[in-house]
A and B are shown apart, each in its own frame.
Chain A
Amino acid sequence: MPIKKVMKANEAAAWAAKLAKPKVIAAFPITPSTLVPEKISEFVANGELDAEFVKVESEHSAISACVGASAAGVRTFTATASQGLALMHEILFIAAGMRLPIVIAIGNRALSAPINIWNDWQDTISERDTGWLQFYAENNQEALDLILIAFKVAEDERVLLPAMVGFDAFILTHTVEPVEIPDQELVDEFLGEYVPKHAYLDPAKPITQGALGFPAHYMEARYGVWEANEAAKKVIDEAFAEFEKRFGRKYQKIEEYRTEDADIIFVTMGSLAGTLKEYVDHLREKGLKVGAAKITVYRPFPVEEVRELAKKAKVLALLEKNVTFSVGGALFQDFSRALINESEKPKIVDFILGLGGRDVTFKDLDEALAIAQKALNGEKVEEVNWIGLRKEIL
C-alpha cells in the first residue's frame, strides 16, 4: 500500500531517488536543495538505499562523477540549484552528448548577482540548450512523480538523454504537503532494473567515450541529441500513460485548466500554476472566460500541444519567472516559434514576474489580466511586460 507522508519537495525528491535505486549519487550542498543530499545520506547511512554516495567537493565534480558512474553503467542521481547548476553547465552538454541518462533534481532558484536564494526559473531555463529533458513540478507530489518519470524516459532506448526536474525554491522545497509515496514493488516494475542500453566502460569490451569529433562527425552527434529530444515526446506520453495506470496520477506535457471557450489563456510553469488555477476559478466566478495552462514538460518543447492550445484562445498570456534579454521570457520565444507559421493564431503577451522570489499575488495577476484584456479588445499593448516592479526604487 502506498503511504502518505507530509513532506517538503526536497524530501519528496530524496524519496524519489530512494525508490529509483540509483547505484551512485554524487552531490554538493546548495540552498534550497541541500536537504536532498542530506536525506539521501540518511537513507544510505541507514541501509535503506544501497548506493555509493560520493561526497564531492563541488557541483562540477558532482556532475562529473555522475558522468563517470553513468558511463560505467549504473543509474545515477544528483541534486542542485542556481549557481550549482551553473557550475555544472559545461558538463551538462557532455552528459547529453554522451547520451547518459542522469537525473538531477533542481530546487529552482535565481542566479547571482545580486545573490538571491529564492525562486525563479532562470537556472534551469539557462540550461535549455544543453540537450537535457526538463520537467517542472507544480507541487511536492509532482516533484516525486516527475523524478520517477524522468528516469523512465531518460533511460528509454529511444531517448537516452539526461533529465532535470525543477521544483520551486522554498515555495516547494521548504513547504510541507501530503505526498503519496508509491510502493517500492510498483516503482520497481515501472522503472525496471537499470541495464545500460549502450556502450559503457567495461574491460571485457573496451570502448572509447568522449572522443574528438571533427567537423565531419560533430553535427551528426548534435543531430542525435535533437532526434532523441523529438523521440522523447512520444516516450514521455507513454511514460505518463503508464504512470497513470500504475499510480493513478495523470500527467500531460501541457495541462489545461478550464480552457473551454476561453478568450484568454494564461500559461505558466511550476508552482505558479497552482496560484493561477485559483485565480482562474476566481475570474470564472466573475463570468470571465479565462483559462490556465501549465507547461510540465519544457524540453522537449511540446510544439504540437502548444498549437492545439493556441486554437482555443484569442490571447495567450505567458507568465514567466525568467528573462531572455531583448526577447522577453523564454516561453515567449518558444511560443512564437511554435505559432509563427500557423494561419490562425492568438495574440501572445508576455509577462515577466516573480523573479528572485518576489511573491506573485492576485493583484499582480490582475495587472497582467488588464493588459491581456486590452490585447483581446484589439488595443496595442507592450509585447513584454514586467509585472510587480517597484518603480520607486528603480
Chain B
Amino acid sequence: MAVRKPPVTTREYWAPGHAACAGCGCATALRLATKAFSEVMEEKYGDPDAFAIAHATGCMEVVSAVFPYTAWKAPWIHVAFENAAAVASGIEAAWKKLGKKGKILAIGGDGGTADIGMQALSGMLERWHNVVYLMYDNEAYMNTGIQRSSSTPYGAWTTTSPPGKYSIGEDKPKKWVALIAAAHQIPYVATASIGNPFDFIRKMKKAAKVDGPAFVQVQCTCPTGWKSPLEKGVEIARLAIETGVWPLFEIENGDIWNIKIQAPGGGAKVKRKDGRVVAIEFKKPIEEYLKLQGRFKHLFKQPEAIDQLREQIKTMWKALGVEVTLPKPGE
C-alpha cells in the first residue's frame, strides 16, 4: 500500500502537556510553525534541530514554560514582552560569531509585535538579521485577560474596549502589521491562517528558506478571548478568509508593489489581470464570521457598525490593490 507523505514532519517541537486552553488556535499555529521550520533546517543545514526560539511574553510563552516543566523540544528563551526581535538579533549575532549553523525563530503575539514590540521588530528587520519573526495574531492581549491591541478588529469586545452606551467596542480599524513589515523591503512577508494550515506550512517553509529577515503574521483563534465554541477554531478562521475579513497574501523580495493575493475560496469569484488578483466578489457575508464569536455579538444590534466594518475591510483590500464586493446577508 502506498503511504502518503505527511504534509509536514511528524517531529514535534511543541510537546503535548502545555497549558493552553482547550481549542487554542495559537497552540496549533506554533506546533505547525516549528514543524515546518525544522523541515527547512534539515534541508538547509542537514539538521532538523538547527534552530533556536526567542519568545515574547504572552499566552503562548506562559503556557509553554512553567518551571520546572517545558513544552519546548528546541532551545528556547523568553526574556520580556517587547523584545523577542532584539533577543533573536543577539542570538543570531552570537551564532554567526560561533560559526553555528542554523536559524532563529522569533515568536510574538499581536501585542508583543504590533504594539510594545514594534520598535524592536523594526530594528531587527532593518538590520537584516537572519530571523523569521512569527506574529501569532489572536487579535488581543490574551495573557493579561483580553485587552485590546492595535491588531484588534473594529467593533470587537475586549475588556478595554467594552461596548456600551457610548462605545461600539473597539473603535479603530485593525493595524496592518504585515504591511509595516513589508515596508522594510525584506525578502519575505506573508499573512497566513490556521484556517488554511497547508498554506501556513508552505509559508513558514518559505520564510525559513530565505536568507535574511522574514515576517509571517498568522491569524489564530482564541476561544477564550473571542468567546467562540472550542471546536470551531479552524472553521472560524476559514470563514475569516472566505468572507474577506482576513486576506492571505505574500510579498517577496521587498517588492511592496507586488502583493500576491491568494484566492479566498468559499465560492468567492476572483478576477485576475496579468495573473494578478484585481477583484474579488465574496459570496459569504462577514456576518457569517462575526456571528460565531461572542466578541462581536453586540454588533448585531447595531447593523450600521457592521457596515462600518465592511467599509474598513474594503479600504484594506484597496490598499492591497484589490476591489472587493462584500455582500450583506441575504444579498
Interface residues of A (CB under 8 A from B): 23-24, 26, 50-52, 54-58, 60-62, 64-74, 76, 90-91, 94, 98, 201-214, 217
Please give me the residue from chain A that is nearest to B63 by CB atom.
A212
- The CA of A57 and the CA of B123, in the complex, are separated in Å by 6
Residues of A within 8 A of B127 (CB): 54-56
Query: Is there contact, CB below 8 Å, between A213 and B67?
Result: yes
Nearest chain B CB to A345 CB, angstrom units: 42
Query: Is there contact, CB below 8 Å, between B119 and A201?
Result: no
Known A-B contacts: A74-B94, A91-B79. Give 6 more (CB < 8 A): A23-B98, A60-B120, A68-B86, A203-B74, A206-B74, A208-B65
B70 CB within 8 Å of chain A: yes
B68, B88, B123: residue with the most chain A Cβ atoms closer than 10 Å: B123
Complex partner residue of A26 from B65, B69, B82, B89, CB under 8 angstroms = B89
B50 CB within 8 Å of chain A: yes
Query: Is there contact, CB below 8 Å, between A208 and B76?
Result: yes
Interface residues of B in 33-90 (CB under 8 A from A): 47, 49-52, 54-55, 61-62, 65-70, 72-80, 82-83, 85-90
Nearest chain A CB to B136 CB, angstrom units: 18
B224 CB within 8 Å of chain A: no
- The CA of A217 and the CA of B263, in the complex, are separated in Å by 50
Residues of A within 8 A of B78 (CB): 209-211
Complex partner residue of A60 from B65, B86, B88, B122, CB under 8 angstroms = B86
Residues of A within 8 A of B94 (CB): 23-24, 52, 68-70, 72-74, 76
Nearest chain B CB to A276 CB, angstrom units: 40
Q: A52-B94, A52-B97, A208-B72 are in contact. Are A90 and B80 (CB under 8 A)?
A: yes
- The CA of A90 and the CA of B88, in the complex, are separated in Å by 17
Interface residues of B (CB under 8 A from A): 47, 49-52, 54-55, 61-62, 65-70, 72-80, 82-83, 85-98, 100, 102, 119-120, 122-123, 126-127
Query: Is there contact, CB below 8 Å, between B67 and A206?
Result: no
Query: Is there contact, CB below 8 Å, between B90 and A69?
Result: yes
Query: Is there contact, CB below 8 Å, between B75 and A74?
Result: no
- The CA of A26 and the CA of B89, in the complex, are separated in Å by 10
What are 16 A-B pairs at a CB distance below 8 A? A61-B89, A65-B89, A65-B90, A65-B93, A67-B87, A68-B54, A69-B91, A71-B77, A71-B91, A72-B100, A201-B75, A201-B91, A203-B51, A211-B65, A211-B78, A212-B66
Please give me the residue from chain A that is nearest to B95 by CB atom.
A72
Secondary structure class of chain B's binding surface, majority of residues: mixed
Query: Is there contact, CB below 8 Å, between A204 and B49?
Result: yes
- The CA of A57 and the CA of B102, in the complex, are separated in Å by 24
Please give me the residue from chain A that is nearest to B67 by CB atom.
A211
Residues of B within 8 A of A55 (CB): 127
Residues of A within 8 A of B89 (CB): 26, 54, 56, 61, 64-65, 68
Residues of A within 8 A of B72 (CB): 206, 208
Q: A61-B119, A72-B91 are in contact. Are A206 and B73 (CB under 8 A)?
A: yes
Query: Is there contact, CB below 8 Å, between A202 and B75?
Result: yes
Query: Is there contact, CB below 8 Å, between B120 and A203?
Result: no
Please give me the residue from chain A that is nearest to B52 by CB atom.
A201
Residues of A within 8 A of B54 (CB): 68
Query: Is there contact, CB below 8 Å, between A206 and B75?
Result: yes
- The CA of A54 and the CA of B66, in the complex, are separated in Å by 31
Residues of A within 8 A of B88 (CB): 68
**Pairs of residues from A and B, 9 with the lowest C-beta to C-beta distance, nearest first:** A68-B90, A65-B90, A57-B123, A210-B78, A61-B86, A64-B86, A72-B94, A211-B65, A64-B83
Complex partner residue of A74 from B47, B50, B66, B97, CB under 8 angstroms = B97
- The CA of A70 and the CA of B127, in the complex, are separated in Å by 19
Query: Is there contact, CB below 8 Å, between A52 and B96?
Result: yes
Nearest chain B CB to A333 CB, angstrom units: 29
Residues of B within 8 A of A71 (CB): 77, 87, 90-91
Query: Is there contact, CB below 8 Å, between B93 and A210?
Result: no
Please give me the residue from chain A that is nearest to B97 by CB atom.
A23
Query: Is there contact, CB below 8 Å, between A56 and B123?
Result: yes
Residues of A within 8 A of B98 (CB): 23, 72-74
- The CA of A69 and the CA of B77, in the complex, are separated in Å by 11
Query: Is there contact, CB below 8 Å, between B119 and A64?
Result: no
- The CA of A65 and the CA of B82, in the complex, are separated in Å by 12
- The CA of A264 and the CA of B218, in the complex, are separated in Å by 68
Nearest chain A CB to B55 CB, angstrom units: 8
Query: Is there contact, CB below 8 Å, between B79 and A203?
Result: no
Complex partner residue of A54 from B51, B68, B80, B90, CB under 8 angstroms = B90
Nearest chain A CB to B21 CB, angstrom units: 16
Query: Is there contact, CB below 8 Å, between A61 and B80?
Result: no
- The CA of A71 and the CA of B54, in the complex, are separated in Å by 11
Q: A56-B123, A203-B51, A214-B66 are in contact. Are A64 and B87 (CB under 8 A)?
A: yes
- The CA of A313 and the CA of B72, in the complex, are separated in Å by 58
- The CA of A24 and the CA of B97, in the complex, are separated in Å by 8
- The CA of A66 and the CA of B80, in the complex, are separated in Å by 13
Query: Is there contact, CB below 8 Å, between B49 and A217?
Result: no
Residues of A within 8 A of B122 (CB): 57
Query: Is there contact, CB below 8 Å, between B123 and A91?
Result: no
Q: A57-B123, A206-B72 are in contact. Are A68 and B50 (CB under 8 A)?
A: no
